[in-house]
Amino acid sequence: MPESRNIRRVAVIGGGTAGWMAAAALANALQHGVAIELIESDDIGTVGVGEATIPPIKLFNAQLGIDENDFLKCTYGSFKLGIEFVDWGWTGNRYFHPFGTFGADFDAVTLHHYWLRERQRGDTTPLSDYSMAWAAARANRFDKPTSDRRLVQSTMDYAYHFDASRYALYLRGYGEKRGVTRHEGKVATVEQDARGFVSAVQLEDGRRIEADLFIDCSGFRGLLIQGALDSGYDDWTHWLPCDRAVAVPCASSDDFTPYTRSTARDAGWQWRIPLQHRTGNGYVYASSFLDDDVAQATLLANLDGEALAEPRRLAFTTGRRKQFWNRNVVALGLASGFLEPLESTSIHLIQSGINRLLALWPDRDFDPLVAAEYNKLTAREFERVRDFIILHYKATTRADTPLWRHVAAMDIPDELANKIAHFAAHARVVADPGELFVNVSWLAVFLGQGIIPARYDPLADARNVDAPRLLSGLKRVIGEAADAMPTHRDYIARHCSSP
């Protein structure tokens, strides 16, 4: 029999959200024959600020067989039906990016075209009135969607807010139970063989850990992917100038929203994420337009409860690694790149990176074809998310501060320009199959920030659909369904209240 070239040892460098998500998912997928070790440094610590997610996280947890109520109890989690954007298109502008769809798929022509036609005829109902997620969210109500597609409750979706440090801890428990070995200590040296492959890492206290495959989850520093392998970085600051954040938790208020709020500020935006035991807040801003102390003072002046800790300052460069997978090192999480958390995508990018790695699981030959495929697909995913985030800045009519004047006037990637042009002219969202953000997300931001298409789909006029009747019926049943849901707080108290 030829010698097996299977991977026998994996070392995960870093124990933040990325490290423990990777270790837990690998422990679940690789049931025997592969040793998984994770190295993390208590001295260095984690970023610990990723608190909002998007619906696919449910799949990640489900793949691991995690019980939702147990996970929410342990992470002080709450539910998220979407994001409310305040003051983005213009000062006084408010809109909601819902999870789910606008209305039900009742026809070959999507609902927003009928809505647009009625709008042109004088109906002023906003499209969001046909969103189940928004109807529940604005009433601070929550219930699980149903799988019965005849009911409007099937048209919403949800994700979570949670305490990221506790999520990492939860996954650590999961991973260790399934055989992951944890080493606490600081990596001091990275050993490479003659081909430049990483062969081992040595900790400050002399311990040496060898592996076939290394997963770099060491955070912004990218200890292996950049420090050892110099994989390069595409800097996207010219499109997304925010490069700082200041974060602080505050006491919970009565406004326990089942959604994230993002409020545009003079040089960036502020997040508000309600958890069971506190509310997470942060101001993401551009240091070229705002002083750090002013950013911190602005954040502290805009909390809806007493601050519970010292504000934490973070610096980042938006962009991505030129190679996410280089030789026998795969970078995940902040080590792979960073996009500001405007649409809560970082944890999702970790999840899809892990899934892609498993789909392209290598052997010890590390065929460069495999890494090239991984890099191509991952780059594409980062770029699509990037473009969606840029849209929020570009589609503004604000001109009241230097940041907003800058982003309104800046050049944007061609593909995004094409998307905007199509929507503005024909009300169509042009997207590749497999894009993370689909119709509803783009529609919410386009329309929410005032891009109203000139035309609706001509197919709508060729259909025998009584749109006014359907739209008013939909609005009524959505309202009734929302009224019948428990409040967000009651739902949590009943099912997943933290100790």
15 annotated ligand binder: yes
Which CB sits closer to ligand FAD, 122 or 206? 206
Among 14, 55, 98, 311, binds ligand FAD (CB under 6 A): 14
Least gap, CB of 468 to ligand FAD (angstroms):
40
Alpha-carbon 104 to chain mean position? 25
Among 180, 245, 391, 478, binds ligand FAD (CB under 6 A): 245
Considering the rule CB under 6 A, would residue 215 count as an interface residue with ligand FAD? no
Pairing relationship of beta strands 329-331 and 325-326 according to DSSP bridges = antiparallel
Which CB sits closer to ligand FAD, 311 or 453? 311
Least gap, CB of 32 to ligand FAD (angstroms):
27
Residue span 293-332 as binding mask against ligand FAD, x where in contact by CB under 6 A, dash where not: ---------------------x-x----------------
CB neighbour burial string for 417-454, b if at least 16 within 10 angstroms, e if fewer: eebbeebeebbbbebeeebbbebbbbbbbbbbbebebe
Q: From 11-19, 28-36, 126-134, 467-475, give the range in contact with ligand FAD by CB under 6 A.
A: 11-19
Which CB sits closer to ligand FAD, 318 or 396? 318
39 annotated ligand binder: no
Q: What is the DSSP string of 298-362?
A: HHHHT-SS-B-S--EEEE---EEES-SEETTEEE-GGGGEE--GGG--HHHHHHHHHHHHHHT--
Least gap, CB of 232 to ligand FAD (angstroms):
18
The count of chain residues that interact with ligand FAD, using the rule CB under 6 A, is 38
> Is 80 a catalytic site residue?
yes
Residue span 163-202 as binding mask against ligand FAD, x where in contact by CB under 6 A, dash where not: -x---------------------xx---------------
Least gap, CB of 342 to ligand FAD (angstroms):
9
Instruction: End-to-end CA distance of the chain: give it in Å, rounded.
Output: 55
Q: How many CB atoms lie within 10 A of CB 254?
A: 8
Radius of gyration of the chain (CA): 23
CB neighbour burial string for 309-330, b if at least 16 within 10 angstroms, e if fewer: eebeeeebebbbbbbbbbbbbb
Residue span 217-236 as binding mask against ligand FAD, x where in contact by CB under 6 A, dash where not: xxx-x-x-------------
Whole-angstrom Cα distance, residue 499 to residue 76? 9
CB 171 within 8 A of CB 20: yes
Least gap, CB of 401 to ligand FAD (angstroms):
21
Angle at Cα 195 formed by Cα 189 and Cα 201, nearest 5°?
20
Q: Is 239 left (phi over 0), alpha (psi -120 to 50) or beta?
A: alpha
347 annotated ligand binder: yes
164 annotated ligand binder: no
Considering the rule CB under 6 A, would residue 268 count as an interface residue with ligand FAD? no
Nearest to 457 by CA among 482, 483, 426, 423: 426
Among 175, 341, 353, 448, binds ligand FAD (CB under 6 A): 341
Considering the rule CB under 6 A, would residue 78 count as an interface residue with ligand FAD? no
Whole-angstrom Cα distance, residue 177 to residue 160? 24
Least gap, CB of 91 to ligand FAD (angstroms):
24
Given CA atoms 340, 341, 344, 346 in this order, what sign does their dihedral have? positive
Whole-angstrom Cα distance, residue 474 to residue 407? 37
Q: From 50-58, 295-303, 386-394, 433-441, give the range in contact with ligand FAD by CB under 6 A.
A: 50-58
Nearest to 174 by CA among 52, 314, 58, 23: 23
Give kind and range of the element (H or E) at residue 478. helix 467-483
Q: From 66-74, 211-219, 402-410, 463-471, give the range in contact with ligand FAD by CB under 6 A.
A: 211-219
Considering the rule CB under 6 A, would residue 403 count as an interface residue with ligand FAD? no
Least gap, CB of 488 to ligand FAD (angstroms):
18
Q: In this structure, what is the dihedral angle of CA atoms 321, 325, 328, 333, given to the nearest 10 degrees?
A: 70
Whole-angstrom Cα distance, residue 427 to residue 450? 13
Catalytic position from the list 80, 144, 394, 475: 80
Binding-site annotation: residue ranges: 15-18, 80, 187, 334, 343, 347
User: Could you list the residues that contact ligand FAD (CB under 6 A)?
Assistant: 14-19, 39-41, 44-47, 49-53, 164, 186-187, 217-219, 221, 223, 245, 247, 282, 314, 316, 333-335, 341, 344, 346-347
Binding positions for L-tryptophan: 343
Please list the active-site residues. 80
